[in-house]
Chain A
Amino acid sequence: MVRKTVNPAVSILGSEFETYRSNVTHYVRALANYVRGKGPDYDMRRTSYE
């Protein structure tokens, strides 16, 4: 599923619904991590790309 952008020649992977759901999921996960005192896993930086 994709969603439209302001440029008709480009769409973004992920539907509107999936995108909003992802936003809410991130909020819940961030809150849970905050409550558990879990910080960022900097070891994951090794699999980051740009």
Chain B
Amino acid sequence: MTLTKFAAHEKEAIKNYYDTYGYVVVQNLLNYTKIQALLASYEKIKHSNLFIFFSQDTHLPIRPKLTPEGFIENSMLNPASLKLWRGFSQSVENCLVDENVIDVLSFLSGGSNHIMMQNMFFDKSTGTIEHQDHYYLDSNPPGKMVAVWYALEDIHEDAGCFFVLPGSHQGKVIERDNASNFSDHDTFVKSINALINEGGYKYRSFPLSKRDVLFWHPYTIHGAYNNCDPRFSRKSLTAHYYPAHLKPMYATNG
């Protein structure tokens, strides 16, 4: 199935598509030179014996564990905050807050200034269950956060693509019972699966091209497939933003 992508200047069409389907892809949005600088910096630090990062998928600070193909197994939480690795973290930040990306973000959220709640870097897909971001993090009042996924390379279909269930943002929203922890997470997973069955939503996979950027709503059900072929990495960044005049929903996240 052909993916619908927009050019950055198609602002009204981008907003209409986002409002209708709960996500939108803007092609060739991220600056190529910034991506190359990030990848060059990443190649240096991933072989360092001193490099430590907080693994988003295992919830521990760890050293890089490389696959036989040379990819870091785990996803990094907040790579833009790795201040002890200034070159890498700055190159991540440069991509995340690229002016073209933030321009589209502003158009979608309606805010001129934003707070980035957290960010992630993936060398490989770690596989992520279907979920609504709202359960984990959102703006307060809710529903105003915008999440952004940045393709740092051409993503192969077997790399463990990011996926979205179009239109699911208009359905029921699952709340977290306990704001301080994820003690009801198993119930959340069951509720999301029930929601998918009830809504009859379809899965849309995103083998995006390098420089493409995907934006999605905090109520949109989405996730990522597991890697099917270890030869393929899935270098990408993710970040979640809320308009600066609002507050974050939960006091602590990630």
Contacts and interface: CB of A to CB of B under 8 A. Distances in A.
Interface of A: 2, 5-7, 9-14, 16, 19-20, 22-23, 25-27, 29-30, 33, 40-42, 44-50
26 contacts: A5-B93, A5-B116, A6-B90, A7-B102, A9-B102, A9-B113, A9-B114, A10-B115, A11-B115, A12-B93, A12-B116, A13-B117, A23-B82, A25-B61, A26-B53, A27-B84, A30-B60, A40-B58, A40-B74, A41-B59, A41-B60, A44-B58, A45-B126, A49-B133, A50-B75, A50-B162
Nearest to B85: A23
A12 B182 contact: no
Interface residues of B, number: 57
B97 A33 contact: no
A18 to B, nearest CB: 9
B126 A10 contact: no
Contacts of B98: 7
Contacts of B106: 9
Q: Kindly list the 5 A-B residue pairs having the minimum CB-CB distance in the complex, ordered from nearest.
A: A40-B58, A26-B61, A7-B97, A30-B61, A44-B59
B57 interface: yes
A20 B122 CA distance: 22
Question: Chain B's interface: helix, strand, loop or mixed, by majority?
Answer: mixed
B113 A10 contact: yes
B22 interface: no
B129 A7 contact: no
A41 B84 CA distance: 25
Nearest to B103: A9
Interface string B70-103: 0000110000111110000010011011110010
A6 B162 contact: no
A22 B96 CA distance: 20
B66 to A, nearest CB: 14
B80 A45 contact: no
B54 interface: yes
A11 B244 contact: yes
